[in-house]
């Protein structure tokens, strides 16, 4: 099977997967709570309000027709109109995406740097104090409530030491005059060749990204250690050593390069974990991203916005997983399609 | 037994978890005050001999709240992990053993749930069902079924091909008997090592939900003992952070970390214990 045939097969498998996820979302958000409009209006709403809501959301139709509407809406990328702001939900979501993306990417960079370093270090020095120390670090990172870590960093570095701002993407005054281009503020500030702005953006990004990155680095470290251990056992590593190559070269060129393939894949698949962590990190640091949007929608009982955000995340995760899979098959020529 | 004593991770984990669970159960005898008692004139006091963890904005003793605060998270985590275990393992057995169409559909569903961010799924479920302990258990239970399902199904697929299964078939054993007597026991060890990690994860998810204000009902009577919950206390304490009232969030968060660390250590220890090849390396 060629790469393209594999791509087509993999795509064909993604479609039922997405369908199942979307159906699950339909069950959780539409069927499980009963009548959404009664949920939205908290049971004490006036009957005309509830009726209007039912008509707006199409709840007066039979369930199967609702499901058909739901799927058709998603296919047209029509996520409905927000009940809170009366704007199209998709448009609102897309406005929030860059903030979350910037946070997630920055956190990913930090997680990979720390995770690779600790994981590879632990594997190379198996059973020595360094290994125990790094394993402990990984376990602690796994056990850390991310929002708590964020709050602790916030109180130490923002409230007491005043090195970093408490939250937000920019201070309100700069934020007012700032017009985003891509929405990724780091890139925007560089595009405008404004170094002062770049530093400000970085200062705001630092604490949230470190919080999210530290927690994720535990996962990266654990995977790196396991894969490195496996590779270090291989014959070609022994060969490299017996050739008399310096240990550093053996580890970086012979072992790490081969261990990287599964590591990269697993890191790619951590995007789901990353989004879950982002929802808490965004709350701690008042970061105006997707998670904040979802929580505001929940608090306002803005049903189309809740549903739209969950669907958007579903589609996003499925796409990322698909891309990681395809990337993996390219990266490792040994993968049999 | 020798391994257990030599396995420091496992021992450390058991000690931490044992201490915290014990503290939670014995809360009425250990706590110096009621977690909901307002101590007049003692608002937002920093830690002192009288109040080792300080007091909060409604004059409650934080130490007492921290001691009581584990009840809801631990209850939710244990019950939901037990339910995920039961459902996930059974689905895994059936799916792996019978295979076919059922297996394909179940696997697809489980993979779908597994690939989705568990916290966001739990948030969506709780957001629609409304807050409360039962809804939290339901949400966390549903989210962690695939963790067990995937491991068990994989094991069953392997064990199914073993010769003793073929032998059992040839002497006319029923499907039920083969599944229960020959296949199930061979899948148990791999399940055991997941349980502690699952509980640790469930505790963090409960804490996350509570922190976001989606856990227990916000209208819950503050005099209700269940209102002392580590996640909720962090949510409430957060507002006073800018004033430098660090003790409101530090101690409840430390407890969440310790208890999930304890379960994580037990999981690591069990892994070493159950996986002899790895044990040699460690």
Of B108, B212, B241, the CB nearest to A20: B108
For the stretch A248-297, pLDDT in tens is 888 888 888 878 877 877 777 777 788 888 889 999 999 999 988 998 88
What's the predicted TM-score (pTM) here? 0.88
For residue A146, what pLDDT is reported? 93
Q: From chain B, pick out residues whose CB is under 8 angstroms from the CB of A147.
A: 207-208, 211, 234
d(CA A150, CA A152): 5
- Residue B282's pLDDT is 39
Q: Which of A167, A166, A165, A191 is nearest to A178 (CA)?
A: A191
As a whole number of angstroms, the distance between CA B137 and CA B144 comes to: 11
CB interface of B with A, residues 199-218, below 8 Å: 200, 204, 207-208, 211-212, 214
For residues A312 and A92, the answer to whether their CB atoms sit within 8 Å is: no
Smallest Cα distance from B13 to chain A, Å:
11
Contacts of B248 in chain A (CB under 8 A): none
In this prediction, residue B223 carries a pLDDT of 57
What is the token pair recorded at A323? 């891309």
Residues of chain B with pLDDT under 50: 279-282
Give the residue-averaged pLDDT of A122-148. Answer: 85
For residues B79 and B198, the answer to whether their CB atoms sit within 8 Å is: no
d(CA A307, nearest CA chain B) in Å:
9
The string of DSSP codes covering A165-180 is -SSSSS-HHHHHH---
Give pLDDT, residue B281: 43
pLDDT at A107: 93
Residue pair B76/B138 in contact (Cβ under 8 Å)? The answer is no
CA distance A70 to A314: 14
- Nearest-angstrom CA–CA distance, A279 and A287: 9
A130 has a pLDDT exceeding 90: no
Query: What mean pLDDT comes out for the span A81-102?
Result: 88
Is the CB of residue A175 less than 8 Å from the CB of residue A251? no
**What does the alpha-carbon distance between residue A284 and residue A149 come to, in Å, rounded to a whole number?**
10
The rounded radius of gyration (Å) of the Cα atoms in chain A is: 24
Q: What is the pLDDT of residues A219-249, one digit of tens each?
A: 888 888 888 888 888 888 888 888 888 888 8
Residues in B closer than 8 angstroms to A143, CB to CB, are 200, 204, 257-258, 260-261, 263-264
Supply the pLDDT for residue A336: 52
Q: Which of A198, A39, A334 is nearest to B127 (CA)?
A: A39
Q: Give the tens place of pLDDT for each residue, A181-219.
A: 787 888 888 888 788 888 888 899 999 999 999 988 988
- The pLDDT assigned to A237 comes to 82
Interface of B with A in 110-139 (CB under 8 A): 111-113, 115-121, 123-125, 127-130
The alpha carbon of A234 is separated from its chain's Cα centroid by a whole number of angstroms, namely: 34
pLDDT confidence of residue B82:
96
Q: Give the model's pLDDT for residue B277.
A: 55
Q: Among residues 12-41 of chain B, which lie with CB inside 8 Å of chain A? A: none
B contacts of A314 (beta carbons < 8 Å): 116
Question: Considering only CB atoms, which chain A residues are within 8 Å of B124?
Answer: 25, 28-29, 306, 310
Cβ pair B115:A151 closer than 8 A: no
Q: Closest chain A residue to B237 measured between Cα atoms?
A: A151
Over residues A139-156, mean pLDDT: 90
What backbone phi and psi angles, to 5 degrees, belong to A99? -60, -50
Q: At residue B55, what are phi and psi to the nearest 5 degrees?
A: -130, 160
Contact A145 B208 (CB under 8 A): yes
From the list A166, A272, A284, the residue facing B116 with the nearest CB is A272
A82-A83-A89 Cα angle (round to 5): 5
Q: What is the mean pLDDT of residues A167-193?
A: 79
Is-contact B257 A144, C-beta < 8 A? Answer: yes
Q: Which position has the higher pLDDT, B248 or A329?
A: B248
How many interchain CB pairs under 8 A, A with B? 138
């Amino acid at each position: 099977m060629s790469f393209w045939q594999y791509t087509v097969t993999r795509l064909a498998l993604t479609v039922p997967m997405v369908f199942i996820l979307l159906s699950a979302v339909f069950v959780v958000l539409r069927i499980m709570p009963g009548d959404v409009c009664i949920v939205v209006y908290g049971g004490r709403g006036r009957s005309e309000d509830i009726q209007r809501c039912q008509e707006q959301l199409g709840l007066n139709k039979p369930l199967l027709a609702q499901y058909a509407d739901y799927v058709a809406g998603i296919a047209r990328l029509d996520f409905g109109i927000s009940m809170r702001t009366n704007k199209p939900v998709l448009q609102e979501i897309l406005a929030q995406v860059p903030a979350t993306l910037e946070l997630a990417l920055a956190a990913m960079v930090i997680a990979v740097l720390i995770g690779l370093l600790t994981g590879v270090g632990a594997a190379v020095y198996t059973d020595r104090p360094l290994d125990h120390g790094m394993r402990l670090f990984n376990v602690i990172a796994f056990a850390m409530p991310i929002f708590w870590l964020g709050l602790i960093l916030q109180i130490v570095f923002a409230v007491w030491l005043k090195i970093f701002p408490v939250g937000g993407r920019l201070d309100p005054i700069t934020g007012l005059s700032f017009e985003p281009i891509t929405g990724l503020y780091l890139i925007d500030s560089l595009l405008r060749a404004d170094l002062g702005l770049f530093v400000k953006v970085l200062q705001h990004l630092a604490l949230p990204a470190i919080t999210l990155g530290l927690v994720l680095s535990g996962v990266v470290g654990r995977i790196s250690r396991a894969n490195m251990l496996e590779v270090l056992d291989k014959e070609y590593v022994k060969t490299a050593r017996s050739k008399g190559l310096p240990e550093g070269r053996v580890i970086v060129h012979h072992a790490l390069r081969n261990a990287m393939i599964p590591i990269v894949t697993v890191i790619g698949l951590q995007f789901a974990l990353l989004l879950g962590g982002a929802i808490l990190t965004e709350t701690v640091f008042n970061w105006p991203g997707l998670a904040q949007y979802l929580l505001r929608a929940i608090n306002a009982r803005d049903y189309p916005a809740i549903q739209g955000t969950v669907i958007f995340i579903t589609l996003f995760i499925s796409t990322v997983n698909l891309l990681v899979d395809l990337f993996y098959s390219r990266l490792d020529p040994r993968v049999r399609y | 037994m020798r391994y257990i004593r030599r396995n420091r991770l496992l021992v450390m984990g058991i000690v931490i978890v044992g201490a915290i669970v014990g503290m939670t159960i014995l809360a009425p005898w250990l706590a110096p005050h009621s977690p909901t008692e307002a101590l007049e004139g003692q608002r937002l006091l920093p830690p002192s001999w009288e109040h080792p963890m300080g007091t909060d904005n409604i004059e409650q003793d934080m130490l007492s709240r921290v001691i009581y605060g584990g009840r809801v998270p631990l209850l939710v985590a244990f019950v939901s992990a037990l339910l995920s275990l039961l459902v996930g393992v059974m689905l895994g057995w059936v799916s792996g053993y019978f295979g076919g169409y059922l297996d394909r559909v179940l696997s697809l569903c489980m993979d779908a749930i597994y690939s989705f961010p568990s916290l966001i799924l739990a948030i969506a479920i709780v957001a629609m069902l409304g807050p409360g302990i039962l809804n939290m258990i339901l949400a966390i239970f549903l989210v962690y079924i695939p963790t067990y399902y995937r491991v068990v199904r994989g094991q069953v697929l392997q064990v199914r091909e073993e010769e003793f299964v073929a032998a059992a078939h040839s002497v006319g054993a029923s499907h039920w008997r083969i599944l229960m007597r020959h296949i199930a026991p061979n899948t148990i060890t791999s399940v055991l090592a997941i349980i502690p990690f699952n509980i640790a994860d469930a505790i963090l998810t409960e804490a996350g939900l509570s922190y976001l204000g989606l856990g227990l009902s916000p209208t819950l009577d503050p005099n209700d003992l269940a209102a002392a919950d580590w996640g909720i206390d962090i949510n409430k304490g957060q507002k006073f952070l800018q004033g430098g009232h660090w003790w409101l969030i530090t101690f409840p968060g430390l407890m969440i970390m310790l208890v999930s660390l304890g379960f994580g250590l037990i999981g690591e220890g069990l892994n070493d214990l159950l996986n002899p090849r790895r044990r040699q390396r460690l």
